[in-house]
Amino acid sequence: MDYEIIIAGGGMVGAALACLLGQVGKQVAVLEAAVPPAFSVDDPFDNRVSALSRASQRLLEQAGAWDNVLKMRASPYEAMQVWDATGSGMIRFEAAEIGEPDLGHIVENRVLQLALLTTLKRYPSVEVLCPARLSGFELSQQQIQVHLTDGSCLSAQLLVGADGAQSVVRSLAELPYEVSDYAQKAVVCTVYTALPHLETAWQRFQTTGPVAFLPLPDPYACSIVWTLPADQADAALLWDEVRFQRELGQALDFRLGEIISIGERAAFPLRGLHVQSYVCERVALLGDAAHTIHPLAGQGVNLGFKDAQALAELIVANESIDYGSLKLLRRYERARRGDNLLTQKAMEGFSLLFGNTLAPWQLLRNQGLTTVNHLSRLKYQLAKRAMGL
Ligand SMILES: Cc1cc2nc3c(=O)[nH]c(=O)nc-3n(C[C@H](O)[C@H](O)[C@H](O)COP(=O)(O)OP(=O)(O)OC[C@H]3O[C@@H](n4cnc5c(N)ncnc54)[C@H](O)[C@@H]3O)c2cc1C
């Protein structure tokens, strides 16, 4: 056999799993289809970022990659304020209230992926093949043979599909999944505002969807995620800059003043996906390949990192077992399915609750936000849960 484990997809989740396995000397191949562009501190901020929880930070520390993230750039945020556009309901979380230095970090996805891929160079048992695209696989009794688009073939005990929401591994393995089309798109871009963000993540819920301003290392720069019905998001991409800045400023109720300038805009269709089974003989899915969720609380990659940690821990704890055995892989699925499903359904619930235009629901959510804001113990628990602690 060429390797013990082949990971298809060297994105954030696949590369994190490779680091955890490389640390303990597992023979791993990472297949990554796209070469990530190199990073320079002078580069403008990317429009794809992730809000990383404390649990994810700890996993990246454990994987040896967090220092590499900090060497490029990351933005700790000390507070988060969420409010409803239809009333006076508001909740504010502060790191100091729960005895933490910050609530998490905003990190560009490219920075995170590059930090992990750089870390992998320290682990000689891990080979990163990039660009390399998986195109097929076949099972034999003792191993799985993985085919690449360049015609080459590799073998291992286990193939991990960390190849994202359009997972090829998932479709080749014929693992069925359920999909909910949210009929929304998330518009993303970098913006500069008249007022400083104060290291705070700002999120305002409108009935069309939430708009979030996530603080970047420059005190006047934020990365925005603006959820809109799909047709309105498409229209927003076509507005001239002046109109986009005005409408976006209004969407946040000008909490950070006027929008001074914007970067390149992009929109991503939002849909929830969950595989019915995360595993089959010699194959396991993790990250977006197994589940995608609504980004309103920024939990997607945080869940993917927990998947990577659970699978790595099982592999390390079961040295003498065939890693492709269904018995072992089912334990991984059992460890992760409940948390992923609960988070996915909670996000769908919030999206429905805050999208409801009926007066009783508006009253309920506004009173709910205000009440929880005053219940310090419950608020403390919510903050700890969001941080993955
Ligand atoms: C607008 C928006 C905002 C978000 N904000 C947050 C946030 O704040 N916090 C958060 O936690 N999550 C957030 N998410 C979710 C997060 O982006 C995803 O959960 C995360 O990108 C999943 O990582 P992944 O590594 O599983 O998949 P991906 O990031 O999709 O990586 C998959 C990798 O596999 C490679 N690949 C694909 N096919 C093949 C193949 N056949 N062979 C080899 N390689 C292949 C790809 O090139 C890619 O590098 C957000 C999502 C959206 C849409």
Question: Where on the phi/psi map is residue 278: left (φ > 0), alpha (ψ -120 to 50), or beta?
Answer: alpha
Q: Nearest residue CA, atom 28 of ligand 1?
A: 164
Tokens 């454990």 appear where? 62
What pLDDT does 389 receive? 82
Rounded to whole angstroms, the Cα distance separating 178 from 157 reads 28
DSSP state of 319: T
Q: Which of 77, 106, 129, 163 to mutate to test the pocket of ligand 1 (most atoms within 8 A of CB)?
A: 163
What pLDDT does 183 receive? 95
Q: Is 238 exposed, middle or buried (0-12, 13-18, 19+ CB in 10 A)?
A: exposed
Summarize the chain as % helix, strand, coil (round to 5): 40, 30, 30
Q: To the nearest 10°, the Cα dihedral for 68, 71, 73, 74?
A: 60
Q: Nearest residue CA, atom 4 of ligand 1?
A: 295
Question: CB–CB of 81/91 below 8 Å?
Answer: yes
Residues 6+ apart with CB under 8 A from 319: none
DSSP state of 36: P
Rounded to whole angstroms, the Cα distance separating 195 from 220 reads 6
Rounded to whole angstroms, the Cα distance separating 135 from 90 reads 49
What pLDDT does 386 receive? 87
As beta bridge partners, residue 179 has 273
Domains located in the chain, CATH noted: 5-74+109-179+271-352 (3.50.50.60), 184-269+358-386 (3.30.9.10)
What pLDDT does 141 receive? 82
Question: CB–CB of 274/291 below 8 Å?
Answer: yes
Rounded to whole angstroms, the Cα distance separating 214 from 221 reads 9
Q: Is the CB of 299 under 6 A from ligand 1?
A: yes
Q: To the nearest 10°, the Cα dihedral for 84, 86, 89, 95?
A: 20
Rounded to whole angstroms, the Cα distance separating 103 from 381 reads 13
DSSP state of 140: -
Q: Is the CB of 301 under 6 A from ligand 1?
A: yes
Q: Is the CB of 187 under 6 A from ligand 1?
A: no
Within the chain, which residues score under 50 in pLDDT? none
Q: How far is the CA of 86 from the centre of ligand 1 (A)?
A: 33
Rg (CA), the chain: 21
Q: Is 202 exposed, middle or buried (0-12, 13-18, 19+ CB in 10 A)?
A: buried
Q: Is the CB of 363 under 6 A from ligand 1?
A: no
Q: How far is the CA of 306 from the centre of ligand 1 (A)?
A: 14
Q: Which of 301, 302, 303 to mutate to test the pocket of ligand 1 (most atoms within 8 A of CB)?
A: 301
Question: CB–CB of 310/334 below 8 Å?
Answer: no
Phi, psi of 329 (to 5 degrees): -65, -35
Q: Is the CB of 272 under 6 A from ligand 1?
A: no
Cα atoms in the Cβ-side hemisphere of radius 13 Å centred on 31:
28
What pLDDT does 320 receive? 85
123: nearest Cα among 5, 35, 19, 12:
19
Amino acid at 45: F
**Cβ atoms within 10 A of the Cβ of 74, count?**
21
Q: How far is the CA of 287 from the centre of ligand 1 (A)?
A: 8
For the CA of 15, the closest atom of ligand 1 is 25
Q: How far is the CA of 288 from the centre of ligand 1 (A)?
A: 6
What pLDDT does 1 receive? 78
Rounded to whole angstroms, the Cα distance separating 2 from 6 reads 9
Q: Where are the alpha helices (DSSP H) in 123-179?
A: 168-172
**Cβ atoms within 10 A of the Cβ of 14, count?**
26
Q: Is the CB of 212 under 6 A from ligand 1?
A: no
ω before 131 within 30° of 0 (cis)? yes
Q: How far is the CA of 11 from the centre of ligand 1 (A)?
A: 6
Q: Is the CB of 51 under 6 A from ligand 1?
A: yes
> SS3 for 265-278, per residue?
CEEEEEEEEEECCC
For the CA of 13, the closest atom of ligand 1 is 25
pTM for this entry: 0.96
381: nearest Cα among 150, 190, 98:
98
What pLDDT does 318 receive? 94
Q: Is the CB of 117 under 6 A from ligand 1?
A: no
Per-residue pLDDT tens digits for 252-282: 999 999 999 999 999 999 999 999 999 999 9
Q: How far is the CA of 290 from the centre of ligand 1 (A)?
A: 11
